Structures are given as C-alpha cells and as structure tokens.
Amino acid sequence: MRTLLCVCVCLCVSAVWAQDLEYDDYDTASSTKNETTKAGGVDARGHRPLTRGGDSYTGNRYAPPPISGGARYRGRPTPPPVAGQQLQEKLKQPDEGGCTHAAEEMGVLCPTGCELKTMLLKQERNVKTSINELKPQVDDLSRSSNTIYNYVNSISNSLRERQRIVGDNSRVVSQYTDRVEEQHAYIKETVDTTFPSSIRVLQGVLDKIRQKIQKLEKAIQGQREVCNEPCKTTCPIPVVSGKECEDIFRRGGKDSQMYFIQPDAFLPPYKVFCDQTTQNGGWVLIQNRLDGSVDFGRRWDEYRRGFGNTAFDAGKGRCETPGEHWLGNDRISQITKMGPTEVLIEMEDWTGTKVHAQYRQFTVMTETANYLLAVNGYSGNAGNCLLEGSSELFGENRTMTVHNSMMFSTYDRDNDNWIPGDPSKQCAREDGGGWWYNRCHSANPNGRYYMGGAYTRQMAKHGTDDGMVWMNWKGSWYSLKAMSMKMRPYFAVPS
C-alpha cells in the first residue's frame, strides 16, 4: 500500500513536468524496404538493411500459489484398550456356621448356627437364579461403559484440536490487526500530511504554468500587433543592387552580405546573400547548412518558393552572416537560364577540415520539367558525386547514385528513379529532404542534421543514410558539420 501511494504521488508530479514529443508532420506511415542487390555487390542505397524483422517476446505464464489454510482432517483417535474378562474364584467363608453336616437328610447337628446355614442353603437356588439373570446385564453395562469411555476420549481429542486451531487463528487475527492498524496509521498520515504537501507542490507548478501561459499569450499578442505592419529587416540593405551578385560586385558591392537582386525586370526583386570574397566573389548563396536550426524536410511548394533565414546581423549593423536556407527552385532555375552558370559546393567536417566540389556548368530546368539538373566540368577535392556517383560502388549500383540528369523530388512529389509511383519507395521520404535523387544518392546536402558527424542505422529514422552526406569524401554514415551551395555566371578567368 505504501509503495502504491508513493508511485501515485511521483506520477502526478512527473506528469506535470513531462515534455512534448516531436514528430515529423510529413511522415504518416513507416515504409519497409526489401532491396535486392547482386551477389557479392554493395547495396547501392548506402549499405541499407535488405530486410526488416521484428523480435517476438513471450512472457512467463502466471503460476498460482499453493492452496493454504487449515487441514481437512484431524488427528486419528486413540483406540480404546481391550477390556479382558477376569474370572473370580469363589471365596470360601472361614465359618460356614460351625456345622459338621449341612445336608438336610443328616438332620440338625449344631443348633447354635445350623439354622442360619439351613436357611441360606434353602435360598441358594433362588440367589443363583438371580445372579444368573444379573450377569448378562452386568456384561451389557460393561460394554456400554467402554463405548462411552471411547466416545468421551474422542470428544476430548477433538476439543483439544479445536482449541489449538482457535489459538492459531487468534494469533493470525492479532497479526493482521496489527498490520491493519499500521497501514491505517500510515494512510492517515499520508492523507493528512503527504497529500496536502503534494497538492501544494502541484498547485505551485500549476501556478508557474499559468504564468508561463500568460507570458506566451502576451508574447503572441505582441507578435500579432507587430505583424499587423509589414515586416522590416533589422539591418540595412545596401542601396546597390543588380541582376545577380556578380552584377552587384561589378557595380561596387564588394562586401559579403545580404542584397536585393532582380534577375527579371518583370518580376519583383528579392533578398539573397552574396559571397563577394570566395574566388573573387560574385556568388549567389542558394543553400546553406551550418547548425541544423532549419528543417529541410519540406514540401514541394516550399522548395519551389524557398525557405529559411537568408542572413542576420551578427552585431555589426548589417546582415553579413548567412543563415540556414534554400533560395528556391524557381529562383535557381531563373538565374541559371540567364546564361552559363557554375556552382560551388563547399563542405566542412567536425574536425574543421574543408573541401569543395565545383562544376563549371550548372543548369536547373523549370518546374514544367520538375527542375531537372544538368552539371558538367567537375573540379575540386571532395569527389565527383553528381556526375560519377559513389566511388565505393561498382557497375549498376554506382550508376544508380549519379545525380546528373535527375529531376527534383520531395516527400510529397516523387520524381526519383526508384520505382516511380510506388509510395513505399521514395528517396525523399527516407533521406530527409528535397534533392535530385536517383536511386537514391551519393550526395545528400539537404538531409537530416546529425551532431558530431558519425551516426548509425539505428539512429536514422528509416534505417537509411539520411544525414548530410557526401559519400566520396566521408562515406554514407558521416553527416557533415557545414555545407553550402553557391552559383555565379561562368566566365573565363584571365590567366
């Protein structure tokens, strides 16, 4: 009883402090993969499990305790002793009257005592007859006495047994009475002391929660009031602008920060982060990952429009620090269609080592073509994942990880090469973000963000290499610390 009450109190307090769990909104059903590879080959899906099984558990059967309580039989009664019959010899009287002759025909010889003897002899026959009649009655009475004796003995034994049982029961009742009194005292103390104390604690917690709710309501109300007016950037944007960052650089915008660009005069301008330092500048930042603060498991429309934080002020009065974001497929396609475009992919591991992959030709088609990717002209030291696939695979398994000529896929619009139209076989759903998946990837810049780098199949949501991966540098099961993609118009650099 004491343990039960303690557990109840603990559960009440713990329930108040329980935190909400987080779920992926887009993953409503878990998918199961049964991928078959060639004998001796490496799984082209990033060493993913071929099958998934489940362990079964059978609990121990309940064994009832043995039956307890009083015995069904009492002790056996002691058999009565067998009464033996003893024959008593007739005692001869020392003086039979002093007569020498006792027969009647002999006459009276001793008148002083023979009259009595004669009278007794005459009554002898009557007495013998009465004695013979009494003997059977005496025998019956003896047998009845023995029966009564045995019955009394059995009653005495039964009474002693009952007295013993009553004594045992009295001791048990006394023990249970003591325990009941102890439990009653504990319950009374708990009800009088512990419960009020716990209730006071819970009331205090409830008051704190009410205060937090009131603060949140005030914050929400304040946000609503602020949002009634158009949002304004917290840091000034330079006056200089252009078609893209290269145009801004040539117009004098030499600092790396957030600018407005307008590739199409018929469409409104929008904000981008321009890298004006790397390789002489002119880069439009189209993707940036650095701390996992932005979720890249987004829908098609969000990847089309763009999402995340373009830049923020680090304390110098201007938006010179890029945030995690995706520029938007429509904007990427629009800029690449303006002319020859190159793309630079920079990455950093958790030891601070940095590498890059650069493609002199980079084009993204329109939404009508599902933003099909076309790249060429690789250079760099990270490995050519987009054109050649994973270097650790061979044959068909390797070609299935090439990203060039692939259409863009998100978890709600499947355009990959892994059995198109099958909802249980979608690379974007398993790999954590939108990308130009094949079947499925050798590079996954928009995958899930794992702290520390190395991760395992057990840590992955679907048991797949869904991290921020560039396989030709760190393999399938190492998620990079930082990664960015930037593009600019391609032009020959004078020697």
Over residues 277-303, the pLDDT tens digits come to 999 999 999 999 999 999 999 999 999
pLDDT category at 257 given cuts 50, 70, 90 is very high
CATH number at residue 448: 3.90.215.10
- Asked if 367 and 466 sit in the same domain, the reply is yes
CA end-to-end span of the chain: 88
Residues 223 and 265 in one domain: no
Would you state the pLDDT for residue 229? 66
- Judge if 161 and 216 occupy the same domain: yes
User: Residue 31 pLDDT more than 90?
Assistant: no
**Domain contains 395:** yes
Q: Is residue 40 part of a domain?
A: no
- The yes-or-no verdict on residue 443 having pLDDT over 90 is yes
- 293 with 441, same domain: the answer is yes
Question: Residue 363: its pLDDT value, please?
Answer: 95
The whole-number pLDDT of residue 230 equals 56
Q: Which of 202, 232, 262 is the last residue of a domain?
A: 232
Whether residues 307 and 412 share a domain: the answer is: yes
Cβ burial of 47 (10 Å; 0-12, 13-18, 19+) is middle
Establish if 105 belongs to a structural domain. no
Is residue 336 domain-shared with residue 258, that is, in the same domain?
yes
Range of the domain at 339: 245-489
Assess whether 224 and 249 both reside in one domain. no
Q: Does residue 53 fall inside a structural domain? A: no
Residues 178-199, mean pLDDT to the nearest whole number: 84
pLDDT of the residue at 187:
85
Q: Is residue 463 part of a domain?
A: yes
Q: What is the DSSP string of 324-381?
A: SEE--HHHHHHHHTTS-EEEEEEEE-TTS-EEEEEEEEEEE--GGGTT-EEEEEEEES
Nearest of 463, 399, 391, 397 to residue 431 by alpha carbon: 463
In a domain, 458, yes or no: yes
Residue type present at position 394 = F
Boundary residue ending a domain (181, 204, 232)? 232
Comparing 242 with 12, the larger pLDDT belongs to: 242
CB–CB of 441/469 below 8 Å?
yes
Rounded CA separation 386/192 (Å): 72
* 495 vs 380: which has the higher pLDDT: 380
Could you give the CA distance from residue 372 to residue 409 in angstroms, rounded to a whole number?
Answer: 10
Q: Is pLDDT of 427 > 50?
A: yes
CA nearest neighbour of 337 among 366, 378, 377, 297: 366
In a domain, 97, yes or no: no
SS3 488: strand
CA-nearest of 285, 333, 324 to 305 is 333
Q: Which residues pair with 242 in a beta bridge?
A: 261
Total number of domains in the chain: 2
- Statement to judge: residues 392 and 252 lie in one domain: yes
Instruction: Mark residue 113 as left, alpha or beta (left: phi above 0; alpha: psi -120 to 50; beta: remaining).
Output: alpha
pLDDT at 32 over 80: no
Cis peptide before 440 (omega within 30 of 0): yes
Mark whether 345 and 475 lie in a shared domain: yes
Q: Provide the Cα torsion 366, 372, 378, 384; round to 10°.
A: 150
Q: Compute, in degrees rounded to 10, the torsion defined by CA atoms 456, 356, 45, 439.
A: 150
Q: Is the pLDDT of residue 438 over 80?
A: yes
Considering the domain architecture, whether residues 220 and 249 belong to the same structural domain is answered as no
**Range 412-415 contact pairs with CB under 8 angstroms and sequence separation of 24 or more:** 412/26, 412/299, 412/300, 413/300, 413/370, 415/370
Residue 312 and residue 401 in one domain: yes
Question: What's the confidence (pLDDT) of residue 474?
Answer: 93
Q: Would 95 be classed as within a structural domain?
A: no
pLDDT of 317: 77
Which residues have a Cβ under 8 Å from the Cβ of 63 and sit 6 or more positions away?
Answer: none
The model's pLDDT over 329-384, given as tens digits with 9 standing for 90+, comes to: 999 999 999 999 999 999 999 999 999 999 999 999 999 999 999 999 999 999 99
The pLDDT value given to residue 142: 83
What is the pTM assigned to this prediction? 0.57
Average pLDDT over residues 177-184: 85
- Is 251 found in the same domain as 225? no
pLDDT of residue 11: 41
pLDDT-derived band at 199 (thresholds 50, 70, 90) equals confident
Dump pLDDT digits (tens) for 147-170.
888 888 888 888 888 888 888 888
pLDDT digits (tens, 9 = 90+) for 204-241: 898 899 999 998 988 888 877 766 765 555 678 888 88
Amino acid at the residue 358? Q
Query: Any idea which residue has 């321009």 for tokens?
Result: 274
